[in-house]
Structure 1
Amino acid sequence: MADHYETLGVSKDASQEDIKKAYRKLARRLHPDVNPAPEAAEEFKSVTHAYDVLSDPEQRRRYDMGGDESPFGGAGFGGFGDIFETFFGASGGGRGGRPRSRRERGQDALVRVTLELGDVVFGTHRDIEVDTAVVCETCQGSCCQPGTSPATCDICGGTGHVQRQVRSLLGNMVTSQPCGACQGYGTVIPHPCATCGGQGRVRSRRTVSLDIPAGVETGLRLQLPGSGEVGPAGGPNGDLYVEVTVAPHRVFSRDGDDLLATLEVSMTDAILGTTTTIAGLDGEVEVEVRPGIQSGEVLTIKERGITGLRTSRRGDLRVGVQVVTPTKVDHRTRQLLEELARRTKAPAPRLAEFHQGLFSKLRDRFRG
């Protein structure tokens, strides 16, 4: 059995780069497309098999320990994978397989944007800064220095695959695997672009314009097809996802498409009734407080809430009333209140149904 190191003409402590150079040098001389001699073809198979073993760190380790030559062709049971590739055309496998394309789809990107509650009433527009991959302006995605182009791999002849003969239970079989010299692309880049390092893309910050529809909620993701990062070698862009967070508002909260708020009403206004104007998220709103209103009652102002995400209809503005009782009164006011109590003959205080505070009471009424 031939020694793989001797076959390639390298020492046993040769580096991976030395092994690769030795293989390329021999393959240029022995490849069937260059040298049609029958003995050259056999030698090329031996050289290729030696390179397959020594270029893989794990196979090389097993070979150095004396365990490479199994009856299934290659280290361990690797030969079965080659047999399957030959018969079933697995990726990177059978004869006639096409070389890999350097152009691949870019990855999707995710950015987060925080909105004010007022932004979601009718929707809003945002220009978002995205740090992502874009096409290299120097090489325009070709991966090559301007004025140069990819060269056909002289090891595989541009097929992206090399063939080798292995022994198996079925006898000697010819299998095909990705070319180690060009990584299966069929071409090599002799002069990589200095700007992108031969990747065809660079990192950059760009601005994406986004129309955010009305009715979005925290956690919602908006998809912008083709606005993600560009792929290797100028491949198609991935998608951009924008995750929305709606910041809490100090006055209004949200229940679906409805807006909720609490209106503090003085004791006299609750008794006599009044009309007041409040500042809504989209302008002023007139609210009528009827005489005798009680704490916890809800006033509904139609279609002053949030425009629905999938409909043009607006929700309502629901205002819970909280009657505010004065904590300090002067002597004259106290006399008037005592007179009022005598005239109205108000009932004595009594126990009522349990509620966990006014806020819970208002929430229950809002949702009722």
Structure 2
Amino acid sequence: MRDYYEILGVERGCDGASLKSAFRKLAMEHHPDRNGGCEDAAARFKEINEAYSVLSDPQKRVAYDRFGHAGVNGGGGGAGPGGGQFHDVHDIFNEVFGDVFGDMFGQGGRARRGGPARGQDLRYDLEITLEQAFAGAEVEIVVPAAMTCETCEGTGAKPGTSPTVCGTCGGAGRIRASQGFFSVERSCPRCGGTGRLVLDPCVDCHGHGQVRKERKLQVRIPAGVDDGARIRLAGEGDAGARGGPRGDLYIFISVAPHDLFERDGLDLLCTVPVPMAIAVLGGEIEAPCLMGGENCDGNCKIPVQVPEGAQTGKTLRLKGRGMPSLRSRERGDLVVEIFVETPTKLSARQKELMAEFAELCGEQQHPKSSTFIGKAKRFWEEVTGGC
């Protein structure tokens, strides 16, 4: 699919006014009714409307900038995060051009806003631990959402009464008026385009047909989920109006920083201090791991064999001890970086032994130091001319 900014011919950082201006110009140029029903013009017009429906919605635009077309669930007519601002092409056109062009471009006689309307999509930002991302988890969240009023069953009218048909528009939700050569259709100002009036409103929802309540939901976090992932819960958004379907709930995942581990794709990285004696002689140490899953308290350990002569910065890779993949049975590795600890508080006897050890060490025990000293000596000989 083409880039939405490219379709409208605007820069990514453009403001709303520039966006609307570009859309107006392109929509007027490519509207099918102005191009004799040309199929190419119709396809181009649809593409323009789709791009504008996403980029004109602040939340959808953020999602598109971050995730591309996948972030808005396929684009303008769908239900991406924070969606629901525009329901179809005609809504977009009215939003930009106003009702004056309604009948000119073939929108006359459409009572679009009075019928069932899909509920708004909702966004919920959820922070989880690395342990939860590693093992998967069930998390309970509390989401405020619009619910159909139980008292009036969504009608907005006081129990025992019903909404009445709007006398101004006759229930159509739109009215016609003549402006010059044009017969103009616009939303009914009395009923707001619903075609009905609530004369005796419900005391609980105040005539809206919906109330906002907190809902508890169980969210399943799949093992291997990464920072920035999105989980869609279909039908868990706001309730629809006038019998319309519920919107969706989008869970945006962030993984909290961990005290011991960093994540690199499917690999887990950690630094482990190693006593100098083990670094010199080789031996076994214990490294932290997440194999205990969500209930691991950081004390889960795994044995690691350190080769003799290990230096600070050396890495040891433990196959299959990293993060699980979301899309396969593959697992990453646990990469342990060694940090050799130098003893700081020595007894007299320990110092004596270290001094004896230093005397016994030759160039073979310190090849890098010997190489460095040799290079330094040659450098000074060149500088001083051997004096």
TM over 0.5: yes
Residue 117 of structure 2 is matched in structure 1 by 104
TM norm structure 2:
0.62
Q: Deviations over 1:120-177 (max 9, x none)?
A: 11211111110121111111212222222222223333333444455x3x5xx76554
Is the contact between residue 287 and residue 336 of structure 2 (CA under 8 Å) also seen in structure 1? no
CA spacing shift, 1:81–1:275, aligned 2, 3 Å: closer
Q: How far is 1:84 from its partner?
A: 5.2
Residue pairs, 1:104-143, within 5 angstroms: 104-143=117-156
Deviations 1:10-39 (A, max 9, x none): xxxxxxxxxxxxxxxxxxxxxxxxxxxxxx
Q: CA deviation at 1:216?
A: 2.2
Q: Is 1:290–2:307 an aligned residue pair?
A: yes
Summarize the Cα distance change of 1:335–1:157 in structure 2 as closer, same or farther, 3 Å threshold.
closer
CA distance in structure 1 between the partners assigned to 2:206 and 2:228 by the alignment? 38
> Are 2:321 and 1:304 equivalent residues in the alignment?
yes
TM-score (norm 1): 0.65
1:1-368 equivalences in 2 (<5 Å): 85-86=102-103, 88-90=105-107, 94=108, 96-98=109-111, 100-101=113-114, 103-164=116-177, 168=180, 176-283=185-292, 284-345=301-362, 346-347=365-366, 349=369
> How far apart are 1:187 and its partner, in Å?
2.2
Q: Distance in 2 between matches of 1:289 and 1:350?
A: 24
How far is the alpha carbon of 1:296 from its aligned partner? 1.3
> Please, which runs of 5 or more residues in structure 1 have no aligned partner?
1-79, 353-368
Please give the per-residue CA displacement for 1:179-237, whole angstroms capped at 9, x wherever unaligned. Answer: 33333333222222211111111111001211111222222222222211113345322
Larger radius of gyration: 1
Residues 81 and 121 of structure 1: CA distance in aligned 2, closer, same or farther (over 3 Å): closer
Call closer, same or farther: CA 1:83–1:246 in 2, change over 3 Å.
closer
Q: 1:99 to 1:107 in 2, by over 3 A?
A: closer
RMSD: 2.6
CA contact (8 A) 1:201 1:233 kept: no
The alignment partner of 1:119 has SS state of helix
CA distance in 2, matches of 1:287, 1:295: 15
- Percent identity between the aligned chains? 40
**Alignment coverage as a number of residue pairs:** 265
Structure with the larger RCO, 1 or 2 (CA within 8 Å, 6+ apart): 1
**Residue 102 of structure 1: CA displacement?**
5.1
Q: Residue deviations 1:295-326, cap 9 Å, x none?
A: 21111111111112222211100101111111
SS at match of 1:334: helix
